[in-house]
Amino acid sequence: MIYIGAHMPIGGGFKRVPRETVEIGGNTFQIFPHNPRQWNASYPKEEDIKKFKEGLHKFNIMQQYMLCHSGYLINIASPKKDGWEKSLKLLIKEMEICSMLGIKYLNIHPGSHLGIGEEVGIKKIVEALNIALDSEKNTIILLENVTKKGGNIGYKIEHLKKIIDKVKYPERLGITIDTCHAWDAGYDIVNKLDEFLTMIDKLIGLNNLKFIHLNDSKNELGSNKDRHENIGKGKIGNDGLKVFLNHEIIKKIPWILETPGDNEVHKNDIKEVLKLVEVN
Ligand code: MN
Ligand code: MN
Ligand code: ZN
């Protein structure tokens, strides 16, 4: 069984997500827990939660196939006191929203050290995660690999490992691999896929790799750009994605599209992906 889906809109409430996931041909999804461009987030309404959960049941979407993605403003690596505190506060609120919705996994970008260095950034991240994981006990945080730009931490898998090793509750952390980010950060996930997975296994354990963000890339390997492209239209391309997706380990992990476009476009991307996969 292949688990595939997309980042879904929540504009009409969380309740629309399960049905729309199935309508685009999906069986797994990602959502934002609130408007990702705002600092203020509200808790979901009782009625919306109820209908969301009814939808999950009706469309048979299980907990391990649901993912929340943290908002864009959060930066728990920030060396600025007020920015860090605001980020931590909103992160905890996001975890609470996940918990209310029955969503176990919250995907975050580790954050940007804003120029003061990776070591200090990692320390700030660990400090924030320790407080967050103490304050909300249900959510598992997934660290997403990113690209090397703007002081980002997490363009190397080693960064993710360092964070996990230093956190008080390592068992409540996992990772997401974004194919576009990995590619743009210089990891050849096509020709050196086995090497890549072996490294993840050694550093973090493949059992802690919970989701794949499945995106083609507009740019060449190692470009450090982070511009997502629709399936088969980018530089990883259909041939590259075919190699990646048919790996036995990758096939067992849920794939979430974050390609440009709306539900209709994602419906088409899912079709394109399934054409590349050899089902046996
Ligand atoms: Mn992301
Ligand atoms: Mn991503
Ligand atoms: Zn990206």
Read off the amino acid at residue 124: K
Active site residues: 37, 69, 72, 109, 144, 178, 181, 213, 226, 228, 258
Read off the amino acid at residue 253: I
Can you say whether the dihedral through the CA atoms of 173, 177, 183, 189 is positive or negative?
positive
Residue 163 is predicted with a pLDDT of 98
HEC assignment per residue over 70-83: CCCCCCCCCCCHHH
Ligand located closest to 213 CA: 2
pLDDT value at 279 more than 90: no
Residue 278 is predicted with a pLDDT of 82
Average pLDDT over residues 82-97: 98
pTM: 0.98
Residue 280 is predicted with a pLDDT of 57
Average pLDDT over residues 214-225: 98
Domain count within the chain: 1
Query: β-pairing, 111-112 with 66-69?
Result: unpaired
CATH number of the domain bearing residue 164: 3.20.20.150
Domain that holds residue 220: 4-276
Residue 178 CA, ligand 2 centroid: distance in Å: 5
Residue 51 CA, ligand 3 centroid: distance in Å: 30
Give the distance, in angstroms, between the CA of residue 75 and the centroid of all CA atoms in the same chain: 15
State how far the Cα of 242 lies from the Cα of 271, in Å rounded to an integer: 13
Average pLDDT over residues 109-133: 98
Read off the amino acid at residue 90: L
Average pLDDT over residues 130-142: 98
Q: pLDDT averaged over the chain? A: 97
Average pLDDT over residues 231-243: 98
Residue 54 CA, ligand 2 centroid: distance in Å: 28
Residue 226 CA, ligand 3 centroid: distance in Å: 5
**Span 163-217, pLDDT tens digits:** 999 999 999 999 999 999 999 999 999 999 999 999 999 999 999 999 999 999 9
Residue 89 CA, ligand 3 centroid: distance in Å: 24
**Residue 60, Ramachandran bin (φ over 0: left; ψ between -120 and 50: alpha; else beta):** left
